Structure 1
Amino acid sequence: YSSNITDILSLCYPHLGNSSCRRIVRPHSVYVLLYIILSSISVLTVTLNLLVIITISHFKKLHSPTNFLLLSLAVSDFCVGFIFIFQILIMDGCWYLSAGWCVFYIVFGLVTTSASVGTVVLICIDRYIAVCDPLHYATKVTVNRARMSVVLCWFSSALYTLAHLDNMKHPGGFNSCIGECVTYTHPVAKVLHLLLTFILPVSTIIILYVRVFVVAVSQARAMHSHVAVVKRQGSVKVNKSELKAARVLGVVVVVFLCCLIPLDIVVLSARFAVVNGSSVVFFLCLYYFNSCVNPMIYVFLYPWFRKCVKYILSLQILKSGSSEANIM
Structure 2
Amino acid sequence: LRVLETPDLTDCSEFGNRSCSENFRSAGVRGVMYLFITAVFILTIFGNLAIIISISYFKQLHSPTNFLILSMAVTDFLMGFAIMPYSMVRSVENCWVFGIIFCKVHYSFDLMLSLVSIFHLCSIAVDRFYAICHPLHYPSTMTPAAIKQIVALCWAMPAAFAFGVVFSEAYASGIEGYEMLIKCSGLCPIVFNKLWGAFLFIVGLFGPACIMIGIYVKIFTVSQRHTLELSQAHRLTKNNKKHELSKNKDRKAAKTLSIVMLGFLICWFPCFFAILIDPFLNFSTPLSLFDSLNWFGYLNSFCNPLIYGFFYPWFRKTFKYILEGKILNTHFRTIKILSEDQSQ
Q: What residue is the counterpart of 2:200 in the other structure?
A: 193
- Which segment is superposed worse, 85-94 or 119-128? 85-94
Q: 1:288 and 2:289 equivalent?
A: no
Between the aligned partners of 1:22 and 1:132, the Cα distance in structure 2 is: 57
Aligned equivalents of 1:69, 1:34: Cα separation in 2: 34
Equivalences for residues 87-126 of structure 1 within 5 A: 87-91=87-91, 92-126=93-127
Q: In structure 2, do the counterparts of structure 1 residues 165 and 132 end up closer, same or farther at CA, with 3 Å as the change threshold?
A: same
Once the two structures are superposed, residues 59-95 of structure 1 have per-residue CA deviations (whole angstroms, 9 ceiling, x without a partner) of: 1111111001101110000011121101211123211
**Are 1:175 and 2:174 an aligned pair?**
no
Deviation track 1:118-164 (CA, whole Å, cap 9, x = no partner) reads 10111111111212222211111122211210011101111111222
Provide closer, same or farther for how the CA distance between residues 166 and 317 of structure 1 changes in structure 2, counting only shifts above 3 A: closer
1:26-45 residue pairs with structure 2 within 5 A? 26-45=25-44
TM-score normalized by structure 2? 0.81
Shift of 1:24: 4.8
CA distance in structure 2 between the aligned counterparts of 1:242 and 1:227, rounded to whole angstroms: 23
Deviation at 1:193, TM superposition (A): 2.2
Letter in 2 for 1:192: F
Unpaired runs of at least 5, structure 2: 1-14, 171-177, 237-242, 339-344
Give the drift of 1:187.
4.4
Larger relative contact order (Cα-Cα within 8 Å, sequence gap ≥ 6): 2
CA displacement 1:195-237 (0-9 Å, x = unmatched): 22022111111111122222233334444555799xxxxxx96
How far the C-alpha of 1:54 sits from its partner, in A, is: 0.7
**Using the alignment, how far apart are the partners of 1:167 and 1:179 within structure 2?**
20
1:311 to 295, 299, 321: 321
**Does 2:272 correspond to 1:264?**
yes
- The CA deviation at 1:296 is 0.9
Name the amino acid aligned to 2:249.
S
- Preserved contact between residue 104 and residue 167 of structure 2 (Cα < 8 Å): no
Residue equivalent to 2:240: none
TM norm structure 1: 0.84
Which residue identity is paired with 1:246?
A: A
Where 2:190 maps in the other structure, the secondary structure is strand
Kindly report the root-mean-square deviation, in angstroms, between the aligned alpha carbons of the 2 structures. 2.8
Structure 1 stretches lacking a partner, 5+ long = 1-15, 230-235
Paired position in structure 2 for 1:67: 66
Moved more, 94-103 or 180-189: 180-189
1:155 and 2:156 correspond: yes
Change (3 A) 1:257 1:221: farther
> Which of these residues, 279, 300, 320, is aligned with residue 310 of structure 2?
300
The question of 1:216 aligning with 2:217 is answered no
